[in-house]
Amino acid sequence: MTIAPPARLEGLPEYVTRRPGGFYRSTNPSTKLAIAALEVVAAFLVPGWPGPIAVLAAVLVTAAAARRLRGLATIGLAASPIVGSILIINLFLLPGASDPIVRLGPLAPTWTGLWFGLQTVARLYAFSAAIALVYLTTEIDDLLADLARRGLGRRAVFVVGAAVQMVPRTIERAAEIVDAQRARGMDTEGRFWRRARGVVPLAAPVVFGALTEVEERTIALEARAFSAPGRQTLLRVPPDRVADRALRWAAVLALVAIVGLRIAGRFG
């Protein structure tokens, strides 16, 4: 079932009719999803260095052309704790590695561990960057509208859309509750046990506050005919050009090819 776009666009406000502009940002969201899926599969299924390196290069070039390198850098920084953990654990503790770089008492970092760690990190970055590029270049509303046009039900669209909006609001509310409890004398910066004692007075209002909203939202949705049968009209539909479609099919075919080659053992 496809959902009909509105027949007439004139008279609609500008924020509804405005098309996303710019390189890669104007590409159809489903096409970007297909490309990201291809990149993730390539990063994990092509063995050794070529897979992750090729994916990283492709993502970085696209991000630079779409002026989204800064966003990618933030995500790269956010991943640094896990990158540190991966490197340290593999450097010192890779089982079976016996080619030490240097001996430091009980510690013996190995070359095998270092390469294995670096490769895991490259895979992780390739995989995260490929997916991050989709949301850095796509409005969530556009992505959901495009998926709705392709038959994703309105319930699924609502759940995903509402969840994405609700997370920052819940965090804001949690911060307000922290302030309110501090004003009542709760210690949030003391020792571990003092902080741990504050978990219940912080978490309980967040959880119960969010749950009490469910009732009101249900009534509001039902009042707007949420569960009514029949088609919906989408106000805003991202364009799907011939080039978008061609790119999407190419990505899907390449993905199938990589999986096929991997199963057939052609990567060696």
Q: Which residue ranges make up the site for another protein (CB under 8 A)? A: 44, 71, 74-75, 77-79, 81-82, 85-86, 89-90, 93, 95, 116-117, 120, 124, 127-128, 131-132, 134-135, 140, 155, 158-160, 162-164, 166-171, 174, 195, 203, 206-208, 210-211, 213-215, 217-218, 221-222, 226-227
Beta bridge partners of 100: 110
Compute the least distance from the CB of residue 103 to another protein, in Å. 16
Judged by beta carbon, residue 144 or residue 251, the one nearer another protein is 144
Closest C-alpha to 130, from 49, 47, 24 = 24
Q: Where do the H-state alpha helices sit in the chain?
A: 14-17, 29-45, 50-65, 69-78, 80-93, 111-137, 140-149, 154-183, 192-197, 199-223, 242-264
Judged by beta carbon, residue 71 or residue 100, the one nearer another protein is 71
CA angle 187, 203, 161 (to 5 degrees): 135
Compute the least distance from the CB of residue 99 to another protein, in Å. 17
Judged by beta carbon, residue 157 or residue 255, the one nearer another protein is 157
Judged by beta carbon, residue 121 or residue 251, the one nearer another protein is 121
Compute the least distance from the CB of residue 123 to another protein, in Å. 8
HSE, CB side, 13 Å, CA atoms: give it for residue 76. Answer: 17
Task: Count CB-CB contacts under 10 A for residue 154.
Answer: 15
